[in-house]
Amino acid sequence: KKKPNQKKKTEQVLGKLSVLSRTPPVDLLKVAYLSATLTARTDDWRSGALAEFHYGGKLGEACSELEKLEASGIPAGWVRSWEVRERRYYFAKPETGETAWSLPPSAFPPSLPTPEPIPAQPITAQPARPVRGQPVSARPITAQPQQQAAPKPRRPSKQSRFGSGAAAIAAEPSAPPRPPAQIAKRPTTAAAAADAAGAAEPPPPPPDDAPPPPPPPD
């Protein structure tokens, strides 16, 4: 036989969870999870799959979680209470004695001033990268000025400096010719060499006792 107090308490907790999901502010995900978990444990308890003792522990845990949800999400100084006859929640402020079925706007702190919007910066379209397979004519080509490099001085090669054969001899400037007076014939024989040496020596002076030369004829 099921205990009547546990059955009544289960119905009260499930009823509060149903109303709490429609009384903001509240975490709806936590309310839905707690309601589904308690419903599944209640079905196990009613079918006999869950012992009375174990179900009592699960029901106590559900009541503790319900109290945390009732106190969460409301401004400081306000409380959320359950009205038994109306079967709904109401809000009260013990310091002023104020009560209401829903929280007034004055219960919430003033919101922060809305920051001024930042002006949008103009977006410059970037040229699209060429896609593989795209025709070359469709790609934008911008002519860039090319700087011509100064020609480097070329070093003369060995052949150009020294030449080769007759071409090198013809390219060299010829020496100026010597005057005829400075050109001396080279002796070809020993006699010719002696004659040339005698002709080159000056004649000896006449002796002191030599007669004077005859006068020239008239």
Contacts of 129 (CB under 8 A, 6+ apart): none
Q: Residue 172 and residue 166: Cα distance in Å, rounded?
A: 10
DSSP lists the bridge partners of residue 80 as: 91
- Count CB atoms within 10 A of the CB of residue 196: 13
Tally DSSP H helices, then E strands, for the chain.
6, 3
pLDDT band for position 107 (cuts 50, 70, 90): confident
Say what the pLDDT of residue 106 is. Answer: 75
**Does the pLDDT at position 22 exceed 80?**
yes
Containing 112, the helix (H) or strand (E) segment is none
Q: Which residue type, as a one-letter code, is found at position 147? A: Q
pLDDT in tens, 53-104: 899 999 999 999 999 999 988 888 899 999 999 999 999 999 999 999 988 7
pLDDT in tens, 140-183: 556 566 666 666 767 655 554 445 454 444 455 555 556 555 44
User: Is residue 209 pLDDT above 50, yes or no?
Assistant: yes
